[in-house]
Amino acid sequence: MSHSPALLSTLAAAATLMSLGCGDGARTEAERRTFGVAMTATPPTGPNEHGWTVTPEAAQVSVGAVRFFEGRVLLSRAPRFDWYSLIGGTAHAHPGHYVPGDALGEVLNVQTVDLLAGSDLGSANAVTGSYGSLELTLATPTAATDAQNVLGGHQVHVRGTATNATGATVHFDAAVDLPRAAIEGVRFERELKQEPGSVRIAVDLGKWLSRIDFATASPPDAAGISTFPADSQAQNALVRGVEDTSAYVVTWVEGAAQ
Amino acid sequence: MKQWLMGVSFLGLVACSSGQGNVTFTTYGEDFIEKEIPATAFADGWTVRYDKFLVKLGELKVANHEGETAAEQGPAKVYDVHRPGPVNVAAFTDLASEEWDEVSYAIAPATDATAGNAAGEDVTRMNTQGWSVYVEGTATKGTVSKRFRWGFPTDTLYEHCENEDIGNGVTVPKGGTETVQLTIHGDHLFFDDLQSPEAKMRFDAIAAADSVGVVGPDGEVTLEELGTVDLTSLPSNQYGTGGAGSVRTLRDFVTALVRTVGHYRGEGECSPRVR
């Protein structure tokens, strides 16, 4: 059976009408785009939960892949085929109360970021769409990614001074390696089209350090520096602070150069 | 050709709206709530048996993503999903037989809820205390038993309900009745992570709270005792809070988990929105 071009056109038009009539005509296809991603930090704004006022003097993190997803935090959505995978992207899905859903963009560079100075992570290869969250991967640094060895082989390094109301002062130097290197489900909700702009990830150092009782740090060494023993409350609290996804405030900066 | 086009147009109309049908909503606690959560489900060997699992279900709504509402439930009702189920929650009749892809419901502390299948005194207590969820049961490991009786005032709206195998919301069948289950997952109260898909079920830390708590080890773990356990006193690879930054104690943690008990058609999920 053969159809004339006119008939095929009519069928297509009818099919379109049927589709529109069912209310699904507003969906648009995703388009490729890029946007810059930068990372910085905000300092603590007051005493932490144990009454310690902390002044960070150094904060570095080894950042790996940053992936943007459709799934909103605490939104579970069934995985489905995504055309983004056709252009080399990845789409992850797993059971649980946060399901990333479709991948919408990624930056794959591995680098050491000086959080107090801030740093560009690179340009995300992405698509337009409804963004809900991102995943921040912490990578084990190498000589190539941490030439000055500021991280000492760890994913996170933080150094500073903590004081409390009794006059106690702790000069601390601590490091973290997360049991699971991916910090999943960081909130980033935006309908992203082709508007110019970039993503800014601000690490809230107050959140990182908020639960630490610095009295549980080690006694100071000869240089006056205390560390966090592996089984100490301080280390436990620092790990939980770094894992806390609310410590990562992701915003869209309008108009920034792409 | 004109006749043919008219035929296509008619088909289009038929495809979009083709009569009416019914939807019945039920709620069900599954075996974990009705019978027990076996030791094999826990990473640390506990067994949990519920004696009561009260939920205050309300604000049930069948709609679509264009904002059209097909049906809404009246006042909230209290269900004891420990009792054998599924039990009927609402029956909506004569709805347009099409896909309604936005189903939502709430587990919220309404103060004027009426009885679903719960006992009258339980309904009164839920309303008086301002609870949306109340659980009562016993955890056992070897010769040790710990009782718990916890009421929560959490207010959670479960939106965008979907089941991966069935689809979003509900499709109303022409001339028939679709049954939709609002499934309550009782095991979630014992997960050791608020976000990780690798969360395990544990009770050791909760049981230990009875020993360090306010009234001493009396065989019952209270919410007040859980509130004395700072999460930083627990192994750092347990009780991760994801993005729930205000969760500091085991009481906070279990309260956050309560918001995840509402599911959709078995393993299906909704988006829980904190109110």
Query: What is the average pLDDT score of chain A?
Result: 82
What is the per-residue pLDDT across A28-59, written as a single tens digit (0 to 9) for each?
Answer: 688 999 999 999 999 999 999 999 999 999 99
- What ipTM score was computed for the predicted complex, to two decimals? 0.74
Assign A108 a pLDDT band (cuts: 50, 70, 90).
very high
Domain carrying residue B128: 18-190+261-274
The pLDDT of residue A92 is above 70? no
CB contact B231 to A (< 8 Å): yes
Amino acid (one-letter) located at B63: A
What's the pLDDT tens digit per position in B37-92? 999 999 999 999 999 999 999 999 999 999 999 999 989 999 999 999 999 999 99
Q: Residue A72: its chain B contacts at CB < 8 A?
A: 271
More confident residue, A179 or A186: A186
Angle made by CA atoms A30, A31, A34, in degrees to the nearest 5 = 125
Distance to chain A for B270, nearest Cα, Å: 6
Report the amino acid identity of residue B79.
Answer: Y
Interatomic CA distance for residues B227 and B221, integer angstroms: 11
Question: Which residue pairs from A78-84 have beta carbons closer than 8 angstroms and sit at least 24 positions apart in sequence?
Answer: A78/B162, A78/B163, A78/B164, A79/B164, A83/A30, A84/A30, A84/A127
Closest by Cβ to B233, choosing from A17, A22, A233: A233
List the single residue in A78, A97, A240 with the smallest CB-CB distance to B164.
A78
Q: What angle do CA A198, A201, A204 make, to 5 degrees?
A: 150
CB pairs under 8 A between A and B: 106
For chain A, how many residues are written? 258
- Which pLDDT belongs to residue B216? 67
Place of tokens 């009539």: A21
Domain annotation covers residue A209: yes
**Which of residues A81 and A117 earns the better pLDDT score?**
A117
Place of tokens 């699971």: A180
Number of domains in chain A: 1
pLDDT higher than 80, residue A233: yes
Q: How many domains does chain B have?
A: 1
Q: Is A122 domain-assigned?
A: yes
Per-residue pLDDT of A140-149, as tens digits, reads 999 999 999 9
- Asked if residue A10 belongs to a domain, the reply is no
pLDDT digits (tens, 9 = 90+) for B189-240: 999 988 777 789 999 999 999 976 556 689 999 999 999 999 999 998 899 8
Instruction: Provide the pLDDT for residue A29.
Output: 82
- Is A244 in contact with B243 (Cβ distance < 8 A)? yes
Q: Distance between CA atoms of A35 and A251, rounded to whole angstroms?
A: 13
In this model, does residue A22 exceed pLDDT 50?
Answer: no
**Spatial separation of the C-alpha atoms in residues A109 and A130, rounded to whole Å:** 24
**What is the pLDDT confidence band of residue A77, given thresholds at 50, 70 and 90?**
very low
In whole angstroms, give the CA distance from residue A185 to residue A23: 31
Asked whether residue A24 is domain-assigned, the answer is no
The answer to whether residue B250 sits within a structural domain is no
**B210 in a domain, yes or no?**
no
In a domain, B176, yes or no: yes
Predicted confidence at residue B194, as pLDDT, reads 84
Q: Residue A131 domain-assigned?
A: yes
- Model pLDDT, residue B8: 40
Q: Which B residues 15-54 touch A at CB under 8 Å?
A: 15-16
Amino acid occupying residue B227:
G
Asked whether residue B265 is assigned to any structural domain, the reply reads yes
Per-residue pLDDT, B240:
87
Domain contains A108: yes
Cβ separation A247–B5 shorter than 8 A:
no
Across the range A86-97, mean pLDDT stands at 34
pLDDT tens digits, B11-36: 444 445 569 999 999 999 999 999 99
For residue B109, whether the previous peptide bond is cis, meaning omega lies within 30 degrees of 0, is no
B133-181 pLDDT per residue, tens: 999 999 999 999 999 999 999 999 999 999 888 999 999 999 999 999 9
Q: Is residue A156 part of a domain?
A: yes
Within a domain: B235: no
A20: pLDDT strictly greater than 50: no
Query: Does pLDDT of B98 surpass 60?
Result: yes
Q: Domain for residue B59, yes or no?
A: yes
Q: Considering the entire predicted model, what is its pTM? A: 0.79
pLDDT of B4 above 90: no
Residues 6+ apart with CB under 8 A from B75: B58, B110, B112, B113, B114
Whether chain A has a CB inside 8 Å of the CB on B9: the answer is yes
Q: What is the pLDDT of residue B195?
A: 77
Do the domain assignments include residue A17? no
Range of the domain at A100: 29-254
